[in-house]
């Protein structure tokens, strides 16, 4: 954590974090740093804030964040890799006749994003730390845009990420990758700039846990039929019956 902070001091992300989070909200930030130190990062998932059960997840201020590095390499993601795009999710709802592209069939983003939609949650394909700051932490802190979130990310990022969530008042569930993830600062920095040659994977039991978590949070009747992209985030569109 402190090594991450030290390195970040020399990068724009560190200054932006200071300007947007630390400087305007020093007490919240101090509390977030302290609370993040008390969390357990060794298990299959880390609960942040008052995160308790999936029963309290879902709906307008919920967010599901997935690392871009989950995108497949062979065949490659039709949306490209280091970006916030997912052509599959962006073209929902799809008809039965629409064939699922080969790359999307095994893609965790497709499955997690589709289940997030049923839970009425927004979906965010996470890329750089700076974008996460501007797209998630700052809007959560300044506008309460997100109050709960489920995230998949590398174990190396868990604690700094928890600080951002806690400062922003976001209850969260973080699931670390099992394979292909960044385990030190140089590797993390390359990925943060878009160079990531491995495809990350979630532990099968965690993928099942996420599936069950989002299924339990599914809204009935379905609140959304597809997504609309605002900025870098996919927000659920009201279902047709709701929109009328
Ligand atoms: S489902 Fe996966 S492979 Fe398909 S467009 Fe989305 S991110 Fe790319």
- For the CA of 86, the nearest atom of ligand 1: 6
Look at the block and give the residue holding tokens 């609140």.
223
Torsion from C-alpha of 168, 170, 173, 175, nearest 10 degrees = -30
> Taking all residues of the chain, what is their mean pLDDT, rounded to a whole number?
90
- For the CA of 89, the nearest atom of ligand 1: 6
Ligand 1, atom 4: nearest CA belongs to which residue? 104
Angle at 46 between CA 85 and CA 40, to 5 degrees: 145
pLDDT of 5 above 90: no
pLDDT digits (tens, 9 = 90+) for 87-137: 999 999 888 778 899 999 999 999 999 999 999 999 999 999 999 999 999
Alpha-carbon Rg for the chain in angstroms: 17
- For the CA of 108, the nearest atom of ligand 1: 2
181 Cα: distance to centroid of ligand 1 (angstroms):
19
72 Cα: distance to centroid of ligand 1 (angstroms):
7
H/E segment holding residue 206 = helix 204-216
Q: What is the pTM of this model?
A: 0.93
Q: Taking residues 202-229, report their average pLDDT.
A: 90
144 Cα: distance to centroid of ligand 1 (angstroms):
28
Q: Which residue out of 72, 73, 74, 86 has the highest number of ligand 1 atoms within 8 Å of its CB and is therefore the one to mutate?
A: 86
120-134, 168-182, 215-229: range with lowest mean pLDDT: 215-229
pLDDT band at residue 77 under the 50/70/90 scheme: very high
pLDDT of 76 above 90: yes
Instruction: Tell me 157's DSSP state.
Output: G
pLDDT at 244: 46
Q: What tokens appear for 20 in the block?
A: 């947007």
Ligand 1 contacts CB of residue 109 (under 6 A): yes
Ligand 1 contacts CB of residue 103 (under 6 A): yes
pLDDT of 71 above 90: yes
Look at the block and give the residue holding tokens 């501007």.
134
Q: Taking residues 190-204, report their average pLDDT.
A: 95
């Amino acid at each position: 954590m402190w090594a991450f902070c030290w390195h970040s001091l020399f990068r724009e992300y560190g200054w932006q974090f200071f300007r947007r989070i630390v400087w305007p909200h020093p007490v919240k930030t101090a509390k977030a740093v302290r609370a993040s130190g008390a969390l357990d990062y060794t298990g299959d998932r880390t609960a942040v804030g008052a995160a308790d059960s999936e029963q309290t997840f879902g709906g307008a201020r919920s967010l599901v964040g997935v690392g871009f590095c989950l995108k497949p390499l062979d065949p490659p993601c039709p949306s490209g890799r280091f970006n916030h795009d997912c052509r599959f999710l962006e073209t929902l709802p799809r008809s039965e006749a629409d064939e699922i592209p080969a790359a999307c069939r095994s893609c965790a983003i497709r499955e997690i994003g589709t289940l997030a939609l049923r839970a009425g949650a927004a979906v965010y394909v996470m890329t750089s730390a700076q974008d996460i700051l501007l797209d998630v932490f700052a809007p959560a802190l300044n506008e309460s845009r997100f109050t709960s979130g489920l995230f998949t990310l590398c174990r190396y990022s868990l604690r700094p990420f928890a600080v951002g969530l806690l400062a922003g008042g976001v209850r969260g569930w973080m699931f670390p990758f099992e394979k292909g993830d960044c385990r030190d600062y140089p590797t993390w920095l390359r990925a943060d700039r878009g160079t990531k040659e491995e495809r990350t994977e979630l532990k099968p039991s965690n993928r099942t846990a996420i599936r069950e978590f989002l299924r339990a949070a599914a809204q009935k009747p379905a609140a959304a039929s597809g997504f609309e992209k605002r900025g870098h985030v996919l927000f659920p569109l009201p279902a047709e019956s709701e929109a009328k």
